[in-house]
Structure 1
Amino acid sequence: MSDTQTRRPSSLALAASALGLTLAAPLALANEAAERLTDRLDPLESYQATFEQRILDGSGDHLQEARGEMWLARPGMLRWEVEAPYSQTVVSNGDSVYLYDPDLEQVTVQALDDRVTHTPALLLSGRVSELTESYEVDYEQDGSDDVFTLVPNSPDTLFEQLSMTFDGDMLTELWMTDSTGQRTAIVFSDPVRNEQIPDERFEFDIPDGVDVIREEPR
């Protein structure tokens, strides 16, 4: 395995792992929390923003920082571009997910199955009813922000806990934790909600000369 492979996680992992919020208000009832989250996400047709991401280990030490841009549209459409420090791209066209690592000259192609859609970014582009059925949802307030914490009902996910922070209707942060205790914080800036995104944004042409790995659905 090369140094490049060992010093950074995959792009989908970058879009998945960590939670570490200390919040104030009492928890709402589970069904009320799910209804509140539905009210936030149901009107969401598209979303685009720049992001900054920090990955921390279980002790809180920084493992990695990254920044980039993202676009999503329902159902199942996503483009997640990490610009620095290592360029990586994830594209979902609603049927397949492409993970492109230009430094490794490698593209991994996966079917858009249940496990892949449980990664946070793709999870947001899915159906709200499936989301609230697949996760236990808690709601809390942190000042003027609304914070929703999701715990998956199935163990076959890439995270153990996910937190979404909203300022009004705008998603501003994702916090996640995985089974190793590794945490990821993704902070969005300059968000744009429900603006038309060209279909070409969710297309991916495999570059000439790269290795292509096709993973079979599980």
Structure 2
Amino acid sequence: MTVKKSLAAIALLVVAPIAMPLAALASDGAERLNRLLEPLQTYEARFDQQILDASGERLQEARGQMWLSRPGKFRWEVEAPYLQEVISDGEEVMLHDPDLEQATIQVLDQRVTHTPALLLSGSASDLTDSYEVSRQQQGSAETFTLLPRDPDTLFEELKMTFRSGALSTLQMTDSTGQRTAIEFRDVQMNHAIDESRFVFEIPEGTDVIRDTH
């Protein structure tokens, strides 16, 4: 899988004084994650993303902005090193690659919501039902480790870190050991987001592919 394709796959994808043992917090991980995610209706942030190989060598960096409105609406824009966007209107998902003048549209089904970025736009209870969740806390930072119950996913482990109640980091590891780390900044939660953010605007001349599978 190329770096560019892996970036697209990712898109289709809150105090203790000391760190507590992960096992000691495993039983309340799903419940606590639910409590953090359920109140989340909208989320907007800038992001910086790195992809590392199994040895830790950096393969690619990217930056951009994302918007989320639950349930099911999502926009992920990569601004550099090249333009790319993934948009969900709650029923379908579009991957638009301006360089290739190509847009792929598919139904927002269960497999699509298993991708790291899009799973955040779904139901919190569905998320914790689909993954085994454990929790670790240090200061104001809470890190949740999610292991998929279904092997048919794009990653083997997902870590979500919240700082003072806000999602600040996503870290993913796939079956090859490749790791993706996404840092969020300038976070805004539960504020009004214009619905036009989640509307497909396909430039004239773009080749549109509809994936019916």
Give yes or no for the alignment of 1:43 onto 2:39: yes
Distance apart, 1:143 and its partner CA = 3.5
Match of residue 210 from structure 1: 206
Structure 1 residues 81-100: aligned runs within 5 Å? 81-100=77-96
* The one of 5, 8, 17 aligned to 1:9: 5
Distance apart, 1:150 and its partner CA = 0.4
Could you list the runs of 5+ residues in structure 1 that have no partner in the other structure? 18-22
1:53-93 superposed Cα distances (whole Å, 9 cap, x missing partner)? 00000000000000000000100100000000010000000
Aligned partner of residue 8 in structure 2, secondary structure: helix
Gap change, CA 1:6 and 1:138, over 3 Å in 2: closer
Say if 2:158 and 2:171, in contact at 8 Å, map to a contact too. yes
Distance apart, 1:215 and its partner CA = 1.0
Match of residue 184 from structure 1: 180
Gap change, CA 1:104 and 1:133, over 3 Å in 2: same
Give yes or no for the alignment of 1:60 onto 2:46: no
Separation (CA, whole Å) in 1 of partners of 2:80 and 2:179: 19
Q: Which amino acid aligns with 2:79?
A: E
Give the TM-score of the pair, scaled to structure 1: 0.90
Give yes or no for the alignment of 1:102 onto 2:98: yes
Structure 1 residues 49-198: aligned runs within 5 Å? 49-198=45-194
Aligned partner of residue 187 in structure 1, secondary structure: strand
Aligned partner of residue 159 in structure 1, secondary structure: coil
CA RMSD of aligned residues (A): 1.8
Separation (CA, whole Å) in 1 of partners of 2:12 and 2:178: 10
Separation (CA, whole Å) in 2 of partners of 1:147 and 1:7: 26
Say if 1:47 and 1:195, in contact at 8 Å, map to a contact too. yes
Aligned partner of residue 8 in structure 1, secondary structure: helix
Aligned partner of residue 85 in structure 2, secondary structure: strand
Distance apart, 1:24 and its partner CA = 4.1
Say if 1:16 and 1:159, in contact at 8 Å, map to a contact too. no
Could you list the runs of 5+ residues in structure 2 that have no partner in the other structure? none
Gap change, CA 1:134 and 1:6, over 3 Å in 2: closer
Distance apart, 1:10 and its partner CA = 4.8
Gap change, CA 1:133 and 1:63, over 3 Å in 2: same
- How many residues get paired? 208
Q: Give the % identical residues.
A: 60
Runs of 4+ residues over 3 Å off in structure 1: 28-31
